[in-house]
């Protein structure tokens, strides 16, 4: 199997980045990260021996900062400098944990002859039943978030959101038109990537919201940077008491109680979940 390398964009993920990085350390898949945080996320990235982290403003300057997709070209160039072209590239944002085993996914893709990976996103949201967990006076969870039982940590979800998260790198693939920092791409895959898409859609746990204060802060950051307007109707300029939704206002997303295991919703993907013999992967220097 070809080597596997992860590319990660991060922005203010200090509260959960260690959980995310631990999931990759167990797999020995090296991560190249590009960070645009002011909450200590970069320091946590650089403490991890499995990660090589760059500060975004050291590369492009504050005027161009912000986690936009064309910045992946920076990471792709660094990946090629260290590991060459003939590798699998997995995109892992700083608030995402892969539920299905990435090395098993890649091995299965090679058997299929697939070069493009799309995943199903399980979004973690706040629901009225979570209100009692939150102390509005202190602005904190009554019990540490990390101590919640797994089922309680993901009580509501949407599992119909599909996003591209991987590809087989080849010479000539590129994210943007030179000069750099002048164009945005529509997705996390190189614009000239062509080939077969993997027949399965593994699941990724997406920590889209961790607490009500953070939900509002992330909406302010993303809306005012013009990065993600979708946050506006749900979290932008709201109070913490107003962001526990039984459903979204437009009715397009119905939140469902998560009471069992992910496997019940995976339609035969369980075989991708269990551990496997580690493939030979490169080491981050």
Quick check: 148 pLDDT over 80?
Answer: no
**Token couple for 231:** 């946050």
- Structural domain spans, the chain: 4-267
Residue 210 vs residue 72, higher pLDDT? 72
Q: Looking at residue 11, what is its pLDDT?
A: 86
Q: What pLDDT, on the 0 to 100 scale, is given for residue 248?
A: 62
pLDDT digits (tens, 9 = 90+) for 85-144: 999 999 988 988 888 899 999 999 999 999 999 998 877 677 787 888 899 999 988 887
Structure tokens at 55: 């500060």
Q: What is the DSSP-derived secondary structure letter of residue 91? A: E
- Quickly tell me which residue has 């993907």 as its tokens: 269
Residue 30 burial by CB count (10 A; 0-12/13-18/19+): exposed, middle or buried?
buried
What's the token pair of residue 77?
Answer: 């160039």
Worst-scoring range by mean pLDDT, 5-19, 28-42, 214-228, 271-285? 271-285
Percent of the chain with pLDDT over 70: 73
What's the rounded mean pLDDT across residues 45-74?
76
Ranges of beta strands (E only) in the chain are 4-10, 31-35, 51-55, 88-91, 96-98, 116-123, 134-135, 140-141, 156-157, 161-168, 203-206, 256-257
Identify the weakest region by mean pLDDT among 31-35, 68-72, 243-247: 68-72
Task: Give dist(CA 31, CA 29) in Å, integer.
Answer: 7
pLDDT average, residue stretch 262-283: 60
How would residue 151 be classed by pLDDT, with cut points 50, 70 and 90?
very low
């Amino acid at each position: 199997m070809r080597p596997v390398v992860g590319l990660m964009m991060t922005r203010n993920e200090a509260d959960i980045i260690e959980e995310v990085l631990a999931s990759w350390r167990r797999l020995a898949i090296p991560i190249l990260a590009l960070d645009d945080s002011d909450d200590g996320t970069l320091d946590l990235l650089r403490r991890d021996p499995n990660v090589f982290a760059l500060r975004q403003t050291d590369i492009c300057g504050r005027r161009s900062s912000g986690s936009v997709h064309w910045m992946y070209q920076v990471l792709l160039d660094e990946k090629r400098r260290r590991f060459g072209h003939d590798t699998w590239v997995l995109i892992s944002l700083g608030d995402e944990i892969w539920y299905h085993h990435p090395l098993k996914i890649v091995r299965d893709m090679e058997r299929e002859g697939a070069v493009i990976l799309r995943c199903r996103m399980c979004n973690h949201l706040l629901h009225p039943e979570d209100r009692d967990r939150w102390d509005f006076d202190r602005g904190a969870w009554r019990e540490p978030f990390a101590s919640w039982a797994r089922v309680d940590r993901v009580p509501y979800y949407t599992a119909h959101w599909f996003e591209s998260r991987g590809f087989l790198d080849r010479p000539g693939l590129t994210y943007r038109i030179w000069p750099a920092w002048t164009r945005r791409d529509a997705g996390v895959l190189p614009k000239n990537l062509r080939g077969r898409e993997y027949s399965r859609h593994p699941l990724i746990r997406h920590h889209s919201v961790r607490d009500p204060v953070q939900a509002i802060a992330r909406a302010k950051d993303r809306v005012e940077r013009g990065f993600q307007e979708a946050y506006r109707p749900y979290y932008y300029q709201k109070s913490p008491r107003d962001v526990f939704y039984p459903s979204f206002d437009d009715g397009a997303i119905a939140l469902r109680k998560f009471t069992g295991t992910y496997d019940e919703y995976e339609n035969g993907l369980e075989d991708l979940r269990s551990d496997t013999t580690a493939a030979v992967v490169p080491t981050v220097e």
